[in-house]
Amino acid sequence: MNLKIQHFVIIITLGVFISCKQNPPTLIKIEGKQLPVTSKISAVDSIEQFVTPYRNRINEVLDSTLAYATATFSPKDGALNSSAGNFMADIVMSEASPIFKNRTNKEIDFSILNSGGIRAVISKGDVTARNMYQVMPFENTIVVVELTAKSVRDLIAYLIQSRQPHPISGIQIMIDRDGSLTSVNIQGKPFDEDRTYFVATSNYLANGGDNMTFFTNNKGVTETDYLLRNAMIDYIRKTDTIVPFVDDRFIQTK
């Protein structure tokens, strides 16, 4: 009889525990409101004291003079090539070539960027790191794409059709007054239909950005892990004076 009573008590106790068990909380509704971060919001003294030394150091680095520009570099001062574009494309060739050579024992043939990626001018006078962040605000890296001759043909056709001063270096393109291609030289030699070419560009363009879909038909991509903006800063830092120029790398005969 006592055993039956014990079983009864155990069953009742378990029933009480189970009935008292709470269900897991369930999300019913989410509410939120927009809080504009403006100068009207007072700074928190403790946070401001913590941040100030870092802010001052960052501003010191960004505003330090890297070089002197004899005149303004603009992405729009030429019809088919520009001073800012030529400058950036030449930097890509200069700074990425030793990295690519060291990793692959091969040479970069030419470079191409997009004119829309140049977001500011480099004004005459002292050039700072902050200027480079304004010119190139994106975290794009330099990559080298191996293209067939056909893909290079598509690249050239893209440049001719767009009629914009897209930055190029290492390649010279000439078209006649009607826009028909008359000659292409790469590294001073006539375009060779029987070989592949190594083209330096940004990772954004290598993925087909700005309608440069010819890059997606490639034979391989080598990542340099080198930010385009950092390449610009490194180049300018070791160059005392920079001079803008527009030349004959892409021209149309009259």
Residue-level pLDDT at 22: 62
Instruction: Give the Å distances, CA to CA, from 248 to 74, 141, 170.
Output: 17, 27, 12
Contact 184, 170 (CB under 8 A): no
- Cα torsion 199, 143, 85, 172 to 10°: value is -10
- pLDDT tens column, 80-138: 999 999 999 999 999 999 999 999 999 999 999 999 999 999 999 999 999 999 999 99
39 pLDDT more than 80 = no
Pull the structure tokens for residue 30: 């989410």
Confidence category of residue 31, pLDDT binned at 50, 70, 90: confident
- HSE of 179, CA atoms in CB hemisphere, 13 A: 9
Confidence category of residue 16, pLDDT binned at 50, 70, 90: low
- pLDDT tens column, 226-248: 999 999 999 999 999 999 999 99
Confidence category of residue 37, pLDDT binned at 50, 70, 90: confident
Residue-level pLDDT at 41: 80
Complete domains list, the chain, with CATH:
61-252 (3.90.780.10)
Residue-level pLDDT at 200: 99
17 pLDDT more than 70 = no
Residue-level pLDDT at 158: 98
The mean pLDDT value of the chain amounts to 92
pTM reported for the whole predicted model: 0.82
